[in-house]
Amino acid sequence: MTRDAPPAVRLEGITKRFGDVVANDTVDFTLEKGSIHALIGENGSGKTTLMSVLYGLYDQNEGEIYVDGQEREFDSPRDAMDAGIGMIHQHFQLVKPMTVLQNIVLGHELTENRFGQIDGAAARDEIEAICSQYDFDVDQYLETPIEELDLGAQQRVEIVKSLYRGAEVLILDEPTAVLTPQEVESLMDVMDDLRANGHSLIFISHKLDEALSIAEDITVLRDGEAIGTVDAAETTEQDLARMMVGREILFDRLERETEPGEPVLEVERLRMRGDRGREQVDGVDLTVREGEILGIAGVQGNGQRELIEGITGLRSVADGAVRLRGREITDASRRRRIEAGIAYIPENRQTEGLVQGDSLVRNALLGNQTIEPYANGSLLDWGAVREHANDVITEFDVQPPDPETTASSLSGGNQQKFIVGREIGHDPDVIVASHPTRGVDIGSIEFIHNRLIELRDEGLAIVVVSSKLEEIQKLADRIAVMYEGAFIDIVGPDTVSEEELGLLMAGHRLESAAGEAETPIDEQGDANGAESSESDRGVQT
């Protein structure tokens, strides 16, 4: 970091309005050369808007932008890129049917002669040099379509694309929101390498621990205003949380005051196939009781999605049984399962939870189309639907509090709160929540966590799938760890550390009381078979 040189970026008095809404209110921000500066705040606080101004996506109403000490005006992202600024968006800007190589060079193709022929060899050489310098593996699948890559690999493609286009300043917008813990660790290493090679980074995040671990400086936005900039080495998560939301935030696990009751959801020897016909869930058993939260942890791609889709009726079961309060529902449709009492908070709120172009009133109807008082035979009671939408907005503090606003105009946290409220409104017996706080700010996380715990204490059976180990440990009464389609173990949240959970997620059994060394699960057979029985584990499934 070089503080005696002109800052890489300086924003002075940036104001951005959308009609009567002030998204940024005279914000100052300085990024020193060769440093990582975290920009944090709740959903809707103006973080992405501020960086979209810097990247040329929006014109500011007031204020100035300086790059390397020179005032600049950006009319488009092309202007920002020409000034050496790149942005990796939370939702990747990649053309999925196209290959990695095509995506990287798209719009910045090198030509080898005056007829405009593309010099593919030169582009490959430059990409391979970038990958070699930063130890990326992107050059190994240049001919692979983007849609065949996992999210971590897609993100690395986005970073290589920005570096290929000459970015010296990189804006990373919620870069860890969709990553597994292992991918997050890898990204942090990449950011360290970029900083060491002279790049300057702006790290937009909701995750306070990550901001503290990677950044030198942290700026907090609240309601469009810059609350302050602090030295990461001299602050704490509690201090940052207080700045973000204006009050104290509870971080610790809450002690439960009730005991689980009778079994509600039972899954027996469930087998599920993935999109390509391969078996993704291999004979899983689980039971969730009244007043209990079962957490399911695992590295993405180990069968969690298929298991949840089998429980909620979104995917056909290959073999096994699903029962709700003792009644077989294995072959029941998603509609029948909603009516039977299974609510679902989906992993992807944008594509699975909401119709983005529809109003909140219409989105409140989803899942309620055949249920009284919203439906009477083939007729819908839109007055009752509107009342339901208003109830959700009020109870879950959805902003802006306008039932006619479209889902797409809400921040991620407010979209998530609306979905949670709508699903709870179904009056379910079981809630299945898949990554319920992914990409959500700390205030909304606390709100959603507290609501799930309240529902548990009211007697609901809840399944929570999450890649956030701290979330699983805070919420769950038991934690089932998935590895290669099976449960490698089911443990208590107070009996294992995050490190031990990480080992289980990687397929290693924990050292037993007898001192046996940890062994990869594939050397010990089926985690749900006789070699890992309930009595051996000492846990209830």
The per-residue pLDDT for 110 is 59
Instruction: Starting at the earlier edge strand, list the strands of the sheet with 342-345.
Output: 342-345, 430-434, 461-465, 292-297, 478-483, 486-491
Contact of 61 with 17, CB cutoff 8 Å: yes
Residues 174 and 310 in one domain: no
* Domain span including residue 298: 252-341+428-541
Pairing assessment for the beta strands 200-205 and 169-173 based on DSSP bridges: parallel
d(CA 39, CA 220) in angstroms, rounded, equals: 6
Cis peptide before 97 (omega within 30 of 0): no
The per-residue pLDDT for 305 is 92
The backbone torsions φ and ψ at residue 482, rounded to the nearest 5 degrees and listed phi first, read -95, 140
Helix (H) / strand (E) element for 155: namely: helix 151-164
Residues 118 and 77 in one domain: no
Residues 336 and 445 in one domain: yes
Residues 270 and 237 in one domain: no
The backbone torsions φ and ψ at residue 258, rounded to the nearest 5 degrees and listed phi first, read -125, 165
What letter would DSSP give residue 508? Answer: B
Number of compact structural domains in the chain: 4
Residues 479 and 402 in one domain: no
Burial class (CB in 10 A: 0-12, 13-18, 19+), 316: exposed
CA of residue 251 relative to chain centroid, distance:
19
| 196, 284, 303, 498 from 519: Cα distances, Å | 37, 20, 21, 18
Residues 439 and 533 in one domain: yes
Residue with tokens 């490959």: 124
The one-digit pLDDT tens for each residue of the chain (541 residues) are 555 679 999 999 999 999 888 999 999 999 999 999 999 988 778 999 999 999 999 999 999 999 999 999 999 999 999 999 999 987 788 898 999 998 998 877 655 545 555 666 888 888 999 988 888 888 888 999 998 888 888 888 999 999 999 999 999 998 887 676 677 888 899 999 999 999 999 999 878 889 999 999 999 999 899 999 999 999 998 899 889 888 766 656 666 667 889 999 999 999 999 887 889 999 999 999 999 999 999 887 899 999 999 999 999 999 999 999 999 999 999 989 998 999 999 988 888 899 999 999 999 998 888 888 888 877 899 999 999 999 999 988 888 889 999 999 887 778 988 999 999 888 899 999 998 987 677 778 888 898 999 999 999 999 999 877 888 988 999 999 999 999 999 999 888 888 888 888 888 887 643 333 343 434 434 444 433 333 333 334 4
The per-residue pLDDT for 178 is 67
d(CA 142, CA 160) in angstroms, rounded, equals: 11
Residues 436 and 514 in one domain: yes
Residue with tokens 């027996």: 268
d(CA 193, CA 195) in angstroms, rounded, equals: 5
The per-residue pLDDT for 484 is 92
Residues 437 and 530 in one domain: yes
The per-residue pLDDT for 374 is 87
Query: How many helices (H) and strands (E) are present in the chain, helices listed first?
Result: 17, 22
Residue with tokens 């760890």: 481
The per-residue pLDDT for 511 is 66
**Radius of gyration of the chain measured on its C-alpha atoms:** 25
Residue with tokens 């439906």: 375
What letter would DSSP give residue 111? Answer: B
User: Which residue among 184, 214, 249 closes a domain?
Assistant: 249
User: Which residue among 363, 391, 426 closes a domain?
Assistant: 426
Residues 398 and 259 in one domain: no
User: Which residue among 214, 249, 284 closes a domain?
Assistant: 249
The per-residue pLDDT for 502 is 81
Residues 173 and 54 in one domain: yes
Contact of 427 with 354, CB cutoff 8 Å: no
Q: DSSP characters for 53-88?
A: HHTTSS--SEEEEEETTEEE--SSHHHHHHTTEEEE
CATH code (residue 477): 3.40.50.300
Residues 382 and 510 in one domain: no
Residues 516 and 466 in one domain: yes
The per-residue pLDDT for 333 is 93
